[in-house]
Amino acid sequence: MDRTQPNNLRVYGVLLRAGKVLIAAESVMGRDILKFPGGAVEAGETPEAALMREFIEEGNLAVTPAYLLHVPGTLFSPWTQGEYTPIYYRVRGQGAPRTPDHEELELIFMEPKQAIESGRMAAPEILALKRALNGAPSGANSS
């Protein structure tokens, strides 16, 4: 079966520890945003493999995808003014994140309520975080 990867397929991981969530604080197109560690799924790569690679690249942190949280479909990003197709996973991992000098982001553990109420997170991230806080997969589709 021939499968075509959606345009701009992105994968993100929600890592919860001690009541906090790992957040990537960064600037996108001049706007300060909060998102989860992750990024592009490269050609020939599974979303799970991309997620593990991105956590290593962004934070020197090995993670394992635990379960799918949210697959909202292809969306329009108000930050980049382009389409993207995000996938969100709940991930598990040990150790402290250490962002390499070349990465232009800051990884921080933050209170989920603070992240949600910051006005700096997109709606799909908020929904994925709420699902992760509920503690069990409840379907991956939007709603």
Are the C-beta atoms of 14 and 89 separated by less than 8 Å? Answer: yes
The answer to whether residue 3 scores a pLDDT higher than 70 is no
Q: Is residue 143 part of a domain?
A: no
The tally of domains found in the chain comes to 1
> Which comes out higher in pLDDT, residue 125 or 5?
125
Q: Is residue 141 part of a domain?
A: no
Q: What is the tens place of the pLDDT at every residue in 84-127?
A: 999 999 999 999 999 988 888 999 999 999 999 999 999 999 99
**What does the pLDDT read at residue 125?**
95
Whole-model pTM? 0.90
| DSSP state for residue 52 in the 8-state scheme | H
Q: Is residue 25 part of a domain?
A: yes
How many CB atoms are closer than 10 A to CB 118?
14
Q: Is residue 142 part of a domain?
A: no
**What does the pLDDT read at residue 100?**
87
Q: What is the tens place of the pLDDT at every residue in 45-91?
A: 999 999 999 999 999 999 999 999 999 999 998 878 899 999 999 99
CATH of the domain at 111: 3.90.79.10
> Could you list the residue range(s) of the whole structural domain that residue 18 is in?
9-134
